[in-house]
Amino acid sequence: MWRVKRNPLQEHILDIGGRRVPLRLRRNAKARRLILRTETRRPDGTPGVVITLPNGVHETEALSWATTQSAWIERHLGKLPDQVPLVDGAVIPYRGEDHVIRHQPTARRGVWNADGIIYVSGREEHLSRRVGDWLKKQARAALCERVADKAGQLQADYGRIAIRDTKSRWGSCAAGGNLNFSWRLILAPDFVFDYVVAHEVAHLREHNHGPGFWRLVNEMTDETERARAWLNSFGAGLHRYG
């Protein structure tokens, strides 16, 4: 049986055969129709779905439509990878290579990696947060270095560099040359990392995706098509960690 419930926090819940699936409604003035997609990462680690509503479509209409999409939702939720918490013994990618998290409670070095192992000192209840903070710190350092190098190649000025946990974009170039990147790029292989940086730095010169833009990207990175294919195939999987 399929029922739509709503909890006190204004989040909708789909009941699919006894399985509670969170449903979030998102309005987008540019949308031309109702769009349904799965959420690969939520704060509590549970999978969910999102419906994008165009202007003029009431939320009750969207919820009614969702009840007709149970087979699609079940099928696509079944394809989502399991979440991987940052705990002792977990295997996570770091710069494209699998690393094992190992708790070293008596060590005094904080977090460090060596020979495919990410060591974490301190109390166990802080392990997940410390690994997450360390990954973001590594991402920031690597991104700042790579941006400086590529912007130097173009002799282009840039603003601040922000590290976020975006779900739909790996990077963006905002007004004033401010650059935003997902910290999860530190999990990806270097040719992917390099491409995303090149893509956003190229936008400092070309604010479009025309031939001139792609010429700049290809001048700054060697494997554009391979990196784009990798992100299309495996990028969503990076959201399963943490």
CA distances from 7 to 39, 69, 87 (A): 19, 21, 31
pTM above 0.75, yes or no: no
- Element at 58 (helix H, strand E): none
Architecture category of domain 129-240 in CATH: 2-Layer Sandwich (3.30)
Output the tens digit of pLDDT for each of the chain's 242 residues: 445 444 433 578 887 767 788 888 988 888 899 999 887 655 555 678 889 999 989 999 998 898 899 888 888 877 777 788 999 999 999 999 999 999 999 998 899 999 999 999 999 999 999 999 999 999 999 999 999 999 999 999 999 999 999 877 899 999 889 999 999 999 999 999 999 999 999 999 999 999 999 999 999 999 999 999 999 888 988 988 98
Residue ranges, CATH 3.30.2010.10, the chain: 129-240
Q: How far apart are CA 112 and CA 100, in angstroms?
A: 12
The confidence score (pLDDT) of residue 8 equals 38
Nearest to 24 by CA among 32, 33, 4: 4
pLDDT on residue 90 = 95
